[in-house]
Every structure is written in C-alpha cells, then in structure tokens.
Structure 1
Amino acid sequence: MAARLCEDTAPRGAGSPAERLRAALSAESPPPGGQVSERLDVEVLHRREALEALREPWGALWERCPAATVFQRPEWLIPWCRELGPEEVLALAFRSEQGLVGLAPLAIHHDRGERLVALLGAGITDYNDVLAAPGYERAVAEAVLAYLDERADAWDVADLHDLRGASPLFAAEAPAGWSDEIEKHEACPRVTIPEGAGPDELFSPGMRARVSRARKRLAKAGALRVDVADASSVDELLDALFANHRARWVSRGEGGVLDEALRPFHRAVARGLCARGALRLFGLRLDGRVIASLYGLAERGGMASYITGFDPEFAWYSPGLVMLASALEHAAAEGARTVDFLRGREPYKYEWGAVDRWTYRRRLRHRRAREAGREAGQGALEGAVRAVMAGEASPEVGLVRLLGAAGGLADAARAIEAARPAAGEGEAAARLEALRRCLDERRAACATVAEMLGAHRDAGVAGPDAPARAARLFDELCARSEEASVAAYSLGDPALLERATGEVVELLERWGALGKDRAILQIGCGIGRFEAALAPRVREAWGLDVAPRMIEAARRRCAGLPNVVLAVSSGVDLGDAPSSRFDLVYAVDSFPYLVAAGEAVVDRHVAEARRGLRPGGELAILSYSYRGDLARDAADVARLAARHGFDVLVSGERPFSLWDGRAYRLRRIEDR
C-alpha cells in the first residue's frame, strides 16, 4: 500500500514519518560517504537547444555517476526533447570548482489548471532521475528543492515519479511548509544472474526444457541465428522490431505501443546508444528473416529489456521465448549480473525468476500552491455552475459537481445566486433556475451526497481500514433509505435512479458486454439495482458488497431471479468468486473506495478481476477515484492494466448525462 506523508503536519526530525520513509529508501542504496556541503552555482536552461549544447559535459557527468541508468543519458533525453518534449524546459545545471556536478532535467507542464514540475522523459522512461556526481548527491537534491522554493510562483506541484529508492531526490528534506507525499509507484521485475553461472545455470530446469524444445522446433524449420545490432545493422533490426511488434499487436486487433509518432524518437535513441556501445538490439533470424526482436539497453553490470516483438506467423515455434533466452545468455556472457524487465508485472517475467524492485513517486506542493488550492475550490464552484448554464452538464450532474466543491449546501446555494447576474435572461438563466430547483427540491439527498464526498475529503474512509469504514457508512445510509445509499445518482428520486441505472446498462450493451450466454460480476453491487436490471440480459449476474445491509436490500430487490448470486465481501478481494468464470467484471463507483484504501487494495482487486475473468473477458471501471485528477487516474489505470495483463480499450470517457463518472474499459490478454 502507498506510504504517504504530509510534512507540514508531521513533526520534523529523525522520528517524523517523512524522515523514517526517506531513511528506509536511502538504506536501499545510501549515498556514499564524504558528502560535500559547498554551495553550488546554478545555471537555468530554458530552451532545449541549450540543453543539447550541454551534451558533452552531460555525457561525462553520466560516466561519473555509478547509479545512473541509460534513461539519464543525453542519448535518451535529447531525442525525447526533440521528438516528444516541450520547446521550453527547466533544466538546472549545477557546477562546483570541479565543473558540472549535477543536472536536473525538468520541465513545467500545465494540467487541469495546475503547473506541474516533472522530469524530462516522463511517460516512456522507466527510471527518471537527476544526475549527481559522487559526493554531491545531497547537495544537488537540496539545490533542486531550494531553486523550486525560490521560484514557487512559477509552479504548483512537483510530480517526480519512477524514482528508484536510491535516487538523490530522496536525500533532501522538503522545505518548511511544503506538503510531501511519497508512495510506491511501479514494480520492475529483475532477474539476478549468479556470478560465474554457466549456460545451464541461467534458467530453471523447467524453463531450460521449454527453451530446448522451442530451439529444436526452429532448427527443424530452417537455419537459425541471433544478430546483435551494430552501426551497419541497427536500422535494419530496428525496422524488424517495429514490424514484429506491430504484427503481434495487430493479430490481437490492437495497435501496439510503437506507433508512427514514437519511431523517430526510438531511431535516434538506437543510433545514439549504438555509437556509445549501450544498445542491445537483438534479431532472431530464421533462414535470414527476422522473426523475433528484443530492444535491450545496456546498463552498468546489466541489461534492460525495453520492448519485444515477434512475427505471429511463427507463434507455434515460440520465437519470443527463444529470443529472450538468447538475450539473457548474451547478457550473462558479457558479464551482466542483472536483466531488468522494467515496468509491468506481466506473468511471463516471473517465469524467468524475476523479483520485483519498486520505483517511487514523490509529490511536493509548496505553501502558496496549497493556499491557491483553496482559491481553486471557489473556481470549481463557479465552474460547476457555468457548465450547467452553458448546457455542458445536466442540472443533476452539475449539482453533484457543486456539492463536491462546496463546503455545504449553503455554499452551493450562494454559488448559484452569485451566478444570476452573469446568466441574464434566456437559456442560461433557465438552466440556472433548473439547477436551483434541483437543489431546493432534493435538499435531504444533497446533504447525503455532501456527507459522502466530505468523507473522502477528510480521509474518513481512507487508509487500511477503509473497507470497514465504507461498510459502516453505507449501512447507515441504507438504513435511511435505499435511495440514500446511492444518492450521488438518485438525489433521493427513485425515477432518477432508474434513469441513471439505464444509462449504465446502455453503455454495457453498446460495448457488447452483455448476452444470454454471459456471466458477469459486480464489485460493490450496493442495493442490487444492476443485478436486477441485467439478470434478464445475461446467464449469471453476481454481486459483491462490503455492507451487509446493502446485500440484504439487494436480495429483496432480486428475489425471484434464480440467476443472481449476492454475497458480502471483505473489501480486500473477491473472496470465493470462481476463477475463469466471468465474461465481465464491472465496478460502478466502488473503485474510489478502493483507491482510498491504498494501492495494495486496488492492486489486489485488479488481480482478482483477472483471476475471475475468462480469456478475453473485460473489466469495466466506471469511476476510478474522487481525486478530480483525470490524468492521474488514467495513468494509474494504465499501470494497473500493464501490471496485470490487460489492454486499455477506453480511458476516461464521460458517457453519462445523469452521472459524472468516467469510464475505463480493460480487456484481459494472455501475453505481450
């Protein structure tokens, strides 16, 4: 589960949560002794051309940094800036009497009205970081945060993710008044090669047998050889990788992750790394034709496997298996001690003996940004009202947005009244009046919605005991009325609840997720409204919920429907739900409670969903969180999909008129 702290409320010093967490991360690979304390000169580079001009000293600094990965090389980040990055950067070059001793390659992005500081390369870079010469790790980290503190007027949030535990960025304490959140971010499975291991000692007996059988099949089909790219063959083998990767994905009806927009970047990277001896691009040839590819990156003492691909025409021969075995053997012969499979927990990685190593995410927010957040709350109130006046949101959706931003019903009412002068007369005024009536006519339900949303704002259902807290909350709401337990959709109106339910049913039908031969399971079924609506459309409709009173209400609603199965769940997993039985696992507004409970609970539920699904089955997440950060939600869903073997078919669409939920549609896949 995510380890999270807020330094502005935690006591500072060696015993604070912040200090303990940073100490734990530093213990993984602490900075070497003899840390310098001199003040560093800072040069701020705003244009990518200025960063490119730093290539030679940058490369020399990389050579001095024993823990740096290939992703901090200029050969990786300069092509990223040219092909994918912004025109303006915020790169900080730190110098001492020794010359360049640190480099923080940053940029400022704008997202949902906030200015985010991030490391260059974010998105397709598996390990982000700054560079700091030995002995300067703490000085560089402190200088980065000191500069950001001085320029606090230029940014709101520093979102530093995909950091290894040994990152210099964990060496510095956040300035006073900042909030500081650190959480586990992504698992990167890694194989350790025993020192002096021979070819027969690299793999388990079972894996050796599989590789041997596959090689024999291929040998019978033709002449087999493995090529490793050099300057004369890098373009040919890269083209083969593009073709094989795309063919494999197209065979599954998808586009892959090496689309046309990314190819110039990877071509520049491959050529640059090849010139430095840091590229390990393999091609498995059968009678001269490249039937499998592996795009590897040489690291100090190891190799990283970035992307693979094979020609599906030869799938029966297991060319991907042979390619990967050959790459591991090549790495061992070169003296590599590790092979890093990078981000994602795809099952095949663990078949080679990989063990997870985690990256981390550090999010920093300065005091002025937090104060601005309060002003943003007022902006959210005004935005909710404007959306209704412009016809962009129905009164029901606008009202729930308004309640999410307001401190209470009085604030919501004041926001509506404050908009009257701008509404004037005509359609905008009529829509504003409809919003006012919606609030006045449904005050009891609106109070319930405000209570539910407030529980999230004050972390009332957050943390490891979130399932138990959520069960108590919804049991209390259900005791008031069944409609109160789903007030965010019904606003106390059974007719509105029926219409909102119908919108979700229509979406699932549009996706082709329903059918008389299909079995479905809902995570967080509540009062059974979907089980009752969907039972006539499917073979089996299962529903799980943490709240016993909700399950009692669901059983009353679904009485007489023999194909409905309802059960109380732990809120931690799917309990006794059968494996490989369901064509659809879906969650309607229950994932926000899992997100509040922490990463481990979310991760477990997605893993459990995969367990319950048949091959090719789908997971539908309708509303992922209440954080109000679409980019963060989409990124989290994408990581979960990659980790547990899903493809993302729909990400963050807003398909409903009566509910503000975002839709995510994932399909189970068997391999990549």
Structure 2
Amino acid sequence: MSERLDVKVLYRRGELEALREPWNALWNRCPDATTFQRPEWLIPWCHELGPEEVLTLVVRSEQGLVGLAPLAIHHYNGERLVALLGAGITDYLDVLAAPGYERAVADVVFTCLRERVDAWDLVELGDLRPSSPLLGVEAPPGWSDEVEKHEACPRFTIPEGAGPDALLWPAIRARVGRARKRLAKAGDVRIDMAEAATVDELLDALFATHRARWNSRGEGGVLGEELWPFHRAVAKGMCARGALRLFGLRLDGRIIASFYGFAERDRLAWYLSGFDPEFAVLSPGLAMFASAIEHAAREGVRTIDFLRGREPYKYEWGAVDRFTYRRRLRHQGARAHGRDVGHGQGELDAAVKAVLSGEVSPEVGLVRLLGAAGDLAVAERAIEAARAAAGQGGGEGAGEPAARLAALRRCLEERRAACATVVEILGVHREADGGAGADAPARTARLFDELCARSEEASVAAYSLGDPAILERATREVVELLERWGSIGEDRAILQIGCGIGRFEAALAPRVREAWGLDVSPRMIEAARRRCAGLSNVELAVSSGVDLGDVPSARFDLVYAVDSFPYLVAAGAAAVDRHVAEARRVLRPGGELVLLNYSYRGDLARDAADVARLAARHGFDVLVNGDRAFSLWDGRAYRLRRIEPL
C-alpha cells in the first residue's frame, strides 16, 4: 500500500479515553473484530488491571483512523514484556485494521518494535485467531520467533432456520426439558435481561451465584472480588452499546442462576455463569444457558462461542475446538529471562561454586545450574568444565569439594528425566505472565495449575527433582524446625498460606489439633485433598490470593508460608501488607507467623529490612530474621510473634 500513513504512539493509558468514539467507529468497519477489541472492554482493563505504561499505536490515513494496535509494556522478573492490552483475562486479542489496511497496520507494529528494541526484551502476542495479521509479518533478521497453539475455544454453530428443538444438541435436550419442568413445579420462573437500570442488580447476582457455586466445591472460581470493578465497568459500557447479554433466572423473585456474555454480529460469547448451589437439584444453570441460546437464535446469532478452556461440559452442547495462537519474539540484544545476555556463564559458574563450597546441597545446586543453563546439555558441560578446571579429568579426584562435585554429577546422571522436567518447569516459571497487578493471583493460579500437571513434587520444590523421597526429606526438615521452635503441638491450630499439594498438612496433622491449608491453584488443592484423604483435622480450600477470605479471626496459633511469600512480593507491596495484616487477624495473641523464604530477589538485607518494617507496622516481634535453617533446602527462615496491643 503506497498511501501515506500517519502513526502516533500513545504512552499513557489516560490518552485512550479520547479515542473511544473513533475506536468504536473503526471497530464497526472491521468485520472480524470481536467484542473484546472494543474500548468498552479494553479501557476498563487498562484502568483496573493494566500497567501504567502503554505503547498503543494509532494509525491514520486521509480517511481517518484505519488502525489501532493496543499494546502495553509489563515489567516482570527483570524483563520488559510487550503484550496486547487485555492479556490475561481476554479470550481474543488483536490489532484493529480497516479492510485493506491489515498488512499495513501489522507492519507498523513491527516497525515500532524494531525502532524501540532498547525499550523491551520480549514480545508476547497471545490469543490471536489464525487470521490475525500479526501472524503474517516476518520477524526482522536475528530475532527469535516462536508461534504455537495457545488456547482451545470450543464453539458450535446453530443450523440456519433451525427450530427450537434443533437448537440444542440431542444429548442435552432431554436434560434441559427435565430441568424446566422441575423449575416450573418449584415456583414462578422468570428470566430477566439486564437493561441500563438493572445492570447493577443482575451483576451483583452473578457475583453472588458464581461465588456460591464455587465455594460449595471448595474452590475460588475465576471471578475474585478484585475483578468486580472491571466487570461492572464493562457491563455498563457494553449495555450502552447493546452488546451485553446478562441474564438472571428468578424463582419466586429470587435470582438463582446467572448468565454473562456478549452478543454482536452473529456470535454469542459465553463469558461466565453461576447458580445458587442451594437449588442445584433444579439444574437452574442448565435451564438458564438453554434460554440464552434460544434468545440468541431469535436475534439471528449463528455461533455460540464458549471461549477458551476445554471444560467437559462445553462439549455436551456439541461444541468443537477452534484454536488461538501465541507468537513470541525476542531480539538479539534482549535481556534473556531477566538477565543480560553474556551473564549466563557467570550464573553457571556461581551455581557450581555454591555446591563446591558447601553453601547449598547438590540438589539445590543442580536446580540453580539448570535454571542458569536452560538446557540439560549446557548444565552437563558446565559440570565437566568444573571437573576439568579442578584437575580431575575422568576421575573423581579427592577431597570434600571433589566429592560434592561428584554428587552434583550423579544427581544429573541418575535423574536425567526428572532434570528435563525441572528444566520445563523453570521455563514455565520464566515465561509466566506475572508481577504486580490486580490479576496477579489469577496468573499465579494458572502458573501452578500448569506446573502441578507436569510434576506435583517438582512444582512445589524443584530441588526434589520430582523424587518423592527427596521431597519427604525436605518436608521433614521444615517439620523438625517447627518442633524445635515449639511452634507446633497437639493443642495447636495452624494455617498455611500457599499449601500446594498438601505435603505439610499431611506431615503435621498428627502433631497438631487442626491444620488448614489455602492455595490459589485449584489443581494444587485437588492434589492436596488426595494426599490428605482420611485426615479429619485437615481443612483445605482454594483462596482468592487477595486475602484470607472467610478464615475465622483469632483461631490459629501458627500461620506459616513455605516458598509462597515470594509470589506476594512479586505481586507488590500491597499484597504483602494485606497478607501480614490478615495473618495477625487470624492469629491468637502470642501466635506466630513463620515465613520460609520471603522473596526471590537475592537481597537478604533488603528482605530482613522489609520483614522488620512489616512486623513493626502490624504488631509482631521479630524472633528470627533470615536465618539459614536447612541443609537440603536453601530457604531462609523468618519467625514473628504477635504482640499486644497493636
């Protein structure tokens, strides 16, 4: 395209508001654009969940606005990550480009990235449909470029001219009929769709029914309170556009099921639903969704999109998978995984040196080495180089350092498959969308769901190398420390923040009166429940990650966190402060807060100063502040005691 284009870069999220109307006008010109590319979705995301720093490209021609590339820069783990606005909780993302300008707008994006390579380290363009113009532009020479399937988004198509009986998949049609009969017998049934005056009421009902349903299963769901302001702004904006489909099913006036989605053009997107578990026997959620489909069909909708996720219930409606894609790019000068390129050898050497000096166990040293190497072969070469430098050649040599180096080598050789899994897990950690922000708990939950699926043991302690025996040794070290300190006993109630797979609950249950465990990852809690099956004094629940929820006040003698506070530190000072305040709330006077590892920043003095400030602010004495307490694990110990008055 030879037409001259004018490109403006917006750096402040407040500048997006002035674009709202031309943005919507451009959206109307883009036949394949989804609801999630509207300003009514992305501007609230920026205000409630996004970073301060945006990098949004506004492309104009003589016709006016012809392209919009809504990007943002996130800072995580020392890296500067460029992603599309809405990343994390949005199912479809892309640039907006007027017909005929798709390639030109995508070229503008890559030109901007090429001209600003000093401002970013990694570009991650996720949730792209196969037709996205961002998938068709060739990366500049020397950049790494990976494209992979990202998410499955099941959907089904309503046959043209289908009558009411043909709208529902045969396998589910009879179930819907039975549900409607049960509801009709139970009382007066009415379904309301939100209008401007009723958005708040129906949205409050959605929040309540969604939370009630998931709480009844001991899980937190995907709609924590920190997301409510975002969805309230979205719902009101989409209602004004006529795109909101927010329904409430009332039984004798009480809303017992909700449906939240968006309908535009010929597509209904099912974003979220919920029902009151008190009425589960009536199947109100099933009846609610069937009614939403029928309403959509009357409006001319042809496609019902369940959005991302392969939950089994979606396929009961006849849905089939459609996939989105993710593209990752990194330029030659980027800081790899938060480290300057060229510093990798220094980290390899430091990992080996820590083992040789006895600073860390061979298991911990191997994990450090694998993390620095990112590859099994590189780690092997580093060990062999250390052996050669020590003058050992092919023999094992003599002396304590040589024995430690031999143990490091044996760890890798004897557990090669486990080491490969650890490399994968560390890679997931590095690539995870994380850092500060209101959606940090949701990102952490997704991270640990994925890690747990790969290896339960390695997901909670990479140095276990996936070996249950090593994990048991590490668990025993922590239990013995708590016993030496007198922090546990048969008359004590204890609560763990970030309980993972329940290894400590299983180990401590025989030693305490009651053991509670919270975790943001539903998959972790499932594993914990299996591990603790039959232990009547163990309580496990999915938490919001925002606070301790409904945990009773002044109930516990010990609140402890093993390698979970670093994720709160990464999420920001407010998250840490809130959890320490919550720990005080649920502790009895004289109760203890024990943190085993405070952060992964590698600055012990800073960690100790932070812990001291938190203790002073929230009414704790500091008994231990950063001591090295273990032989297998390199975790640092912090022990605080609640004092009165605050």
Give the aligned partner of residue 118 of structure 2. 153
Counterpart residue number, 1:502: 473
The structure-2 alpha-carbon separation of the partners of 1:277 and 1:379, relative to structure 1 and needing over 3 Å to count, comes to farther
The answer to whether residue 313 in structure 2 is matched with residue 342 in structure 1 is: no
Give 3-state SS (helix, strand or coil) of 1:124's partner.
coil
Partner of 1:105: 70
Counterpart Cα distance in 2 of 1:67 and 1:656: 57
Question: Which residue matches 1:31?
Answer: none
Counterpart position of 2:167: 202
What does the per-residue CA deviation read over 1:449-503, in whole Å, with 9 as the maximum and x for residues that have no partner?
Answer: 79879979999xx9xxxxxxxxxxxxxxxxxxxxxxxxx9799xxxx99555534
- 1:175-190 alignment, distance < 5 Å: 175-190=140-155
* Partner amino acid, structure 2, of 1:282: F
Separation in structure 2 between the aligned mates of residue 315 and residue 404 of structure 1, nearest angstrom: 47
Distance 1:455 1:257, change over 3 A: closer
Give the one of 191, 216, 230 matched to 2:195: 230
Q: Render the CA deviation track for 1:116-158: whole Å, top value 9, x for unaligned.
A: 1111111111111111111011111111011101111111111
Provide the residue aligned with 1:142 in structure 2. 107
Shift of 1:331: 0.3
Displacement of 1:41 in angstroms is: 2.1
Correspondence for 1:541: none
Question: Is the 2:83–2:124 contact (alpha carbons within 8 Å) kept by the matching residues of 1?
Answer: yes
1:269 equivalent to 2:269? Answer no
Q: Which residue of 2 aligns with 1:378?
A: 345
TM-score (norm 2): 0.62
Report how far residue 187 of structure 1 moved: 0.7
Query: Which whole-Å CA distance do the structure 1 matches of 2:240 and 2:10 have between them?
Result: 26
CA distance in 1, matches of 2:181, 2:274: 21
Distance in 1, matches of 2:73 and 2:293, equals 39
Are the aligned partners of 1:44 and 1:92 in contact in 2 as well (CA < 8 Å)?
yes
Structure 1 segments unaligned to the other structure (5+ residues): 1-35, 419-433, 463-487, 516-581, 587-629, 632-652, 662-672
The structure 2 residue matched to 1:314, chosen from 279, 282, 285, is 279
1:401 counterpart (368, 389, 393): 368
Within 5 Å, give how 1:47-86 maps onto structure 2: 47-86=12-51
Q: Could you tell me how far apart the structure 1 residues matched to 2:354 and 2:55 are? A: 35
Per the alignment, do residues 392 and 51 of structure 1 end up closer, same or farther by CA in structure 2, a change over 3 Å counting?
Answer: farther
Separation in 2 of the partners of 1:353 and 1:660? 51
Letter in 2 for 1:377: G
Compared CA separation, residues 386 and 267, structure 1 to 2 (3 A): farther
Map Cα deviations across residues 607-626 of structure 1 (whole Å, 9 max, x no partner).
Answer: xxxxxxxxxxxxxxxxxxxx
Worse overlay, 111-120 or 335-344? 111-120
Residue of structure 2 equivalent to 1:367: 332
Query: Within the alignment, does 1:191 sit opposite 2:153 as a pair?
Result: no
Alignment: residue pair count: 452
| CA–CA separation in structure 2 for the residues paired with 1:657 and 1:210 | 58
Report the aligned-residue RMSD: 4.2
Partner SS for 1:135: coil
* Aligned counterparts of 2:122 and 2:347: Cα–Cα separation in 1: 18
For 2:200 and 2:278, locate their aligned partners in 1 and report how far apart those are by CA, in whole Å. Answer: 23
Instruction: Classify 1:299/1:437 alpha carbon distance in 2 versus 1 (closer, same or farther; 3 Å).
Output: farther
Tell me how far 1:410 sits from its aligned partner. 7.7
Secondary structure, aligned partner of 1:214: helix
Query: CA–CA distance in 1 between the matches of 2:349 and 2:12?
Result: 36
Which runs of no fewer than 5 residues in structure 2 stay unpaired? 390-398, 428-461, 480-500, 510-527, 533-569, 572-598, 601-628, 636-646
Instruction: Give the superposition deviation at 1:436.
Output: 4.9
SS in 1 for 2:56: strand
Q: 1:357 aligns with which of 322, 329, 343?
A: 322
Match of 1:328 in 2: 293
Q: CA deviation at 1:111?
A: 2.3
Give the Å deviation of 1:274. Answer: 0.2
Q: In the alignment, is the contact (CA less than 8 A) between 2:366 and 2:408 conserved in 1?
A: no
Aligned to 2:620: none
8 Å contact 1:42–1:93 — kept in the other structure? yes
- Aligned AA (2:13): R
Give 3-state SS (helix, strand or coil) of 1:332's partner. Answer: helix
SS of 1:117's equivalent?
strand
1:298 aligns with 2:269: no
* Contact 1:106 1:119 (C-alpha < 8 Å) held by counterparts: yes
Query: 2 CA distance for matches of 1:456 and 1:257?
Result: 28
Amino acid at match of 2:348: L
How far, CA to CA, are the matches of 1:415 and 1:206 in structure 2?
Answer: 64
2:221 aligned partner: 256
Give the aligned residue type for 1:510: F
Aligned-residue offset at 1:387: 8.1
Shift in Å, 1:256: 2.3
Query: C-alpha displacement at 1:216, in angstroms?
Result: 0.9
Picking from 136, 159, 176, the partner of 1:171 is 136
The 1:497–1:286 alpha-carbon spacing in structure 2 relative to 1, beyond 3 Å, is closer
Equivalent residues in 2 for 1:547-558, closer than 5 Å: none
Counterpart code for 2:344: G
Which residue number corresponds to residue 624 of structure 2?
none
Secondary structure of 2:154 counterpart: strand
Query: Secondary structure of the residue that 1:262 maps to in structure 2?
Result: helix
CA distance in 2: counterparts of 1:452 and 1:222, whole angstroms: 60
**Residue of structure 2 equivalent to 1:213:** 178
Contact 2:502 2:529 in 1 (8 A): no
Alignment CA distance shift 1:339-1:403 (3 Å) = closer
> Secondary structure of 2:342's match?
helix
The residue number in structure 2 matching 1:568 is none
Q: Which runs of structure 2 are paired with 1:642-661 in the superposition (5 Å)?
A: 658=632
Q: Specify the SS of the correspondent of 1:367.
A: coil
User: Separation in 1 of the partners of 2:310 and 2:89?
Assistant: 16
Q: Go from structure 1 to structure 2 and tell me whether the alpha carbon gap of 1:489 and 1:352 turns closer, same or farther (over 3 Å shift).
A: closer
Work out whether residues 151 and 324 of structure 2, in 8 Å CA contact, stay in contact via their aligned partners in 1: yes
Q: Are the structure 2 counterparts of residues 388 and 102 from structure 1 closer, same or farther at C-alpha, using a change threshold of 3 Å?
A: farther
Counterpart of 1:502 in structure 2: which amino acid? R
2:368 maps to amino acid: R
Give the direction of change, closer, same or farther, for the CA distance of 1:151–1:216 in structure 2 (3 Å limit). same
Q: Residues of 2 paired with 1:280 and 1:85: CA distance?
A: 25
Measure the CA separation in 1 of the matches of 2:530 and 2:99.
Answer: 52
CA contact (8 A) 1:65 1:131 kept: yes
What letter is aligned with 2:273?
Answer: T
- Once the two structures are superposed, residues 38-74 of structure 1 have per-residue CA deviations (whole angstroms, 9 ceiling, x without a partner) of 3532111010011222111111111111111011100
Describe the shift of the 1:440–1:297 C-alpha distance in structure 2 as closer, same or farther (beyond 3 A). Answer: same
1:629-672 CA-to-partner distances (Å, cap 9, x unmatched) read x99xxxxxxxxxxxxxxxxxxxxx999974799xxxxxxxxxxx
Q: Distance in 2 between matches of 1:94 and 1:458?
A: 42
SS in 2 for 1:369: coil
1:442 shift after superposition: 2.8
* Contact residue 395 and residue 435 of structure 1 kept, 8 A: no
User: Is it true that 1:43 corresponds to 2:8 in the alignment?
Assistant: yes
Q: Say whether 1:93 aligns with 2:58.
A: yes
Aligned-pair identity in percent equals 67
Distance change in 2, residues 1:192/1:397 (3 Å): same
Cα distance in structure 1, aligned partners of 2:212 and 2:412: 54
Identify the range of structure 1 (103-112 vs 449-458) with the bigger mean alpha-carbon deviation: 449-458
TM-score by length of 1: 0.60
How far residue 415 of structure 1 moved from its aligned partner, in angstroms, is 9.1
Question: What secondary structure is seen at the aligned counterpart in 2 of 1:50?
Answer: helix
Q: Contact 1:409–1:446 at 8 Å: present in 2 too? A: no
